[in-house]
Amino acid sequence: MTALFNFQSLLLVILLLICTSTYLHHVFPGPMDRNKDGVLGVFWKGARIGERLSPYVSVACVIMAASIFIGT
């Protein structure tokens, strides 16, 4: 089953995209700010979400980690 058809896996992929985009924007802000539109704009938007909603994203990561740990 792919991540697109399993809701928990889809949420995990979205959280990883947000966290990775936020980290990369912190390290390399120039290239990300130039690509606000198009396909690479998804990473810029993920970085915005990660920067502005960081407490909620971190709580979601902890909940996701706990659910994966308990599920196995």
Q: What is the pLDDT of residues 16-72, one digit of tens each?
A: 999 999 999 999 888 888 888 888 889 999 999 998 998 899 898 888 888 878 875
Q: Residue 65's domain spans which residues?
A: 7-71
Residue 2 covered by a domain: no
Residue 22 covered by a domain: yes
Residue 37 covered by a domain: yes
pLDDT band at residue 4 using 50, 70 and 90 as cut-offs: low
Q: What separation in angstroms does the CA of 40 have from each of 7, 36, 43, 57?
A: 24, 7, 6, 21
Residue 13 covered by a domain: yes
What pLDDT does 34 receive?
Answer: 85
What pLDDT does 21 receive?
Answer: 92
Provide the number of structural domains found in the chain. Answer: 1
Is the whole model's pTM more than 0.85, yes or no?
no
